Structure 1
Amino acid sequence: MKWRTLVLFLALLQISADGYGQITLKEKNSPPEKVLAAIEKQTKYVFLYDPDALRNITITIDVRNVTIQETMKKCFKGTSIEFSIIGNNVMLKKTSEKRKSYDHARSPTAF
């Protein structure tokens, strides 16, 4: 009985993880809104951001089967945009100074 419960739990956990999935995306000099919409179509993530913060930014990206964190790092590398992933929400925020490289996602407690 305990084994069945464990197997059922693991199966449900895997089904839940599949919903967030891997991202495949190829865009060149695209507006962030277009790129974020493409990511939303492929995953269950929802983006929260101020449209003014993304003004004057274009994104060139070519990724295959990568996580949301890897995708976001590549999208906003070298910009003043930071991201934070909490559950199925991705919050984007403009920082006060431009960062040359972005090594990791901010922790959820950063907001």
Structure 2
Amino acid sequence: MILSPLGGLKAQINIAAKQKSLISVFRQVEKQSKYVFLYDKAVENSPAISFDCANCSIERVIQLLEQQTKLEFKISGQQVLVKKRTTKGTGKQKQQR
């Protein structure tokens, strides 16, 4: 067992996802930890993902999810907030004279 800086037990998560829905992966994490995923309907339509992770922290699982999706994840306490990734720097271009 690994102790977190806050004194609680840090979840060690095991996932073997082969073309699984994102929601299915969220449920696996929720069963193995005290984390709960919060997301809207747009997230439910994300394409299937595949990855293996043995004895991973929630941070590592999120890192793997971010690599395979166009989503942002933010941990707030025991909640993981999920939303579509925003694109940066796509504003109007300046016209040159």
TM-score range, shorter chain: 0.7 to 0.9
In structure 2, distance between residues paired with 1:23 and 1:82: 20
Q: Which residue of 2 aligns with 1:42?
A: 32
In structure 2, distance between residues paired with 1:21 and 1:59: 22
Q: Which residue of 2 aligns with 1:33?
A: 23
Q: Report whether the alignment pairs 1:56 with 2:33.
A: no
Coordinate RMSD, CA, aligned: 1.7
Q: Which residue of 1 aligns with 2:80?
A: 90
Runs of 4+ in 1 over 6 A off after TM superposition: none
Query: Secondary structure at the residue paired with 1:44?
Result: coil
Q: Larger relative CO (CA 8 A, sep 6+): 1 or 2? A: 2
Unaligned runs of 5+ in 2: 1-5, 88-97
More helix by proportion, 1 or 2? 1
Unaligned runs of 5+ in 1: 1-11, 98-111
Alignment length, in residue pairs? 82
In structure 2, distance between residues paired with 1:39 and 1:72: 10
Q: Could you tell me whether the CA contact under 8 Å between 1:30 and 1:58 is conserved in 2? A: yes
Identity of aligned residues (%): 33
